[in-house]
Amino acid sequence: MRKLILGIFLLASLFARAQDIHFVQFTETPQLINPGQTGVFNGVARVIVNYRDQWASVDAPYRTFGFNYDHRITKKKWKKAHLSVGLAAYRDDAGDLGMHTTSGVVSLSSTLILTREHFLTAGVQGGVIYRGIDMSKAVWGSQYDGDGYDPTMASGEINQFNNFLSPDVSFGFAWNMNEPNGIGPFRSLQARAGTGLFHLNRPRQKFNLGEDDKLHLRWTLHADAMMGIGSGRSYIVPMFLFQLQGPSTEAVFGGMYRFLIRDAAQVTGFVKGGAIGLGATYRWADAITPMVSLEYLWFRLGVSYDVNVSKLRRASGYQGGLEVSLKFVLDDGFYWSGRQSRN
């Protein structure tokens, strides 16, 4: 009994200090990685939904859901800058006790156009984090009657866990480059890099009524690019992410090969293209993740699967987690899809 109680307290303590939720397809979770990425895309509005299912082969799976919406506030008289707003929400469920984290944030960013090819974006983010646990799902030794487990028997235990709500404040900025005529061996080049600092106010964590911990700051550093190679339909897409939160670190790097299967209109943008992508990332000392993407019209679908290569592979059988992302980008072509470009 003492070991069971100690294990539950330890699990709650670890959860309170835990690393934030994460997705392997981090380029599809812009506000989770950097508030300065709010509004940084080619279009007017953007919606992304994410789903991740992890460790189902070991025990009760960890399921994570994500939602991202952002759009630009454009003023014609603003020649050198514009504002963007965003809304993001995340939900993470872990383990048999229904330990869950739900967060909702609002982001505001400002983009400063330096030159025709370069611009900077800075963003702030504010919201709340809610964490909870369902102790009614706990199984206690005192509920075994000698023949089996009887959930109707009183456990005799005192519930010392408390769900809680905390405010959360974050900040970030990013540099972006778009060279349509290319640089060096690349016929075209788009690149971005940035950094974010999350939980600036150190939200309090109070799962155990006897504890009052604070959530560690999370620092992110990220970069990715799209580099045109060859005759005009092939692209290389390298990507990198580093995160540091308290004693936890995460480093992910990899890339994709993107092939254009349908040309988009270069002048009006009313005719949308299509593309497929194949690639993989490596999360340091943890997993190799093959991924595939499909782009058509205003949509992009991404699917990936973790192949666990850490010490846990003996228990997981090299199985990690399935992840799916779906993105929709609204632009002028959405309203004029019947028009055709002369090009």
Q: Does residue 285 belong to any structural domain of this protein?
A: no
Element housing 259 (H / E): strand 248-262
Q: Does residue 293 belong to any structural domain of this protein?
A: no
Phi and psi, residue 52, nearest 5°: -140, 135
Pair 138, 97: CB distance under 8 Å:
yes
User: How many structural domains comprise the chain?
Assistant: 1
Q: Does residue 184 belong to any structural domain of this protein?
A: yes
The band of 139, judged by pLDDT with boundaries at 50, 70 and 90, is confident
> How high is the pLDDT of residue 270?
43
Pair 81, 122: CB distance under 8 Å:
no
Min mean pLDDT across 95-99, 200-204, 294-298, 338-342 is at 338-342
Phi and psi, residue 291, nearest 5°: -145, 155
Q: Does residue 328 belong to any structural domain of this protein?
A: no
Is residue 201 scored above 80 in pLDDT? yes
Q: Does residue 161 belong to any structural domain of this protein?
A: yes
CA angle 307, 311, 313 (to 5 degrees): 40
> How high is the pLDDT of residue 75?
63
Q: Does residue 249 belong to any structural domain of this protein?
A: yes
What is the domain range of residue 24?
A: 2-256
How far CA 226 is from CA of 70, 167, 274, in Å, comes to: 22, 36, 15
CA dihedral 124, 126, 130, 131 (to 10 degrees): 30
Is residue 2 scored above 50 in pLDDT? no
Is residue 32 scored above 50 in pLDDT? yes
In terms of DSSP bridges, do strands 248-262 and 81-94 run parallel, antiparallel, or are they unpaired?
Answer: unpaired
Report the distance separating Cα 25 and Cα 221, nearest Å.
15
How far the first Cα of the chain sits from its last, in Å, is 74
DSSP string covering 94-125, please? ETTTTEEEEEEEEEEEEEEE-SSSEEEEEEEE
Q: Does residue 193 belong to any structural domain of this protein?
A: yes
If you ran DSSP here, which 8-state letter would residue 32 be given? Answer: H
Instruction: Calculate the CA 207 to chain-centre distance.
Output: 24
User: Smallest Cα–Cα separation from 261: which of 272, 271, 274, 249?
Assistant: 274
> What CATH number has the domain bearing residue 155?
2.40.128
Min mean pLDDT across 2-6, 35-39, 173-177, 205-209 is at 2-6
Q: Does residue 189 belong to any structural domain of this protein?
A: yes
Tokens of 166: 């905390």
Tokens of 132: 């909870």
Name the residue with higher pLDDT: 297 or 217.
Answer: 217
Min mean pLDDT across 25-34, 41-50, 99-108, 270-279 is at 270-279
156: left (phi over 0), alpha (psi -120 to 50) or beta: left
What is this structure's pTM? Answer: 0.85
> How high is the pLDDT of residue 164?
85
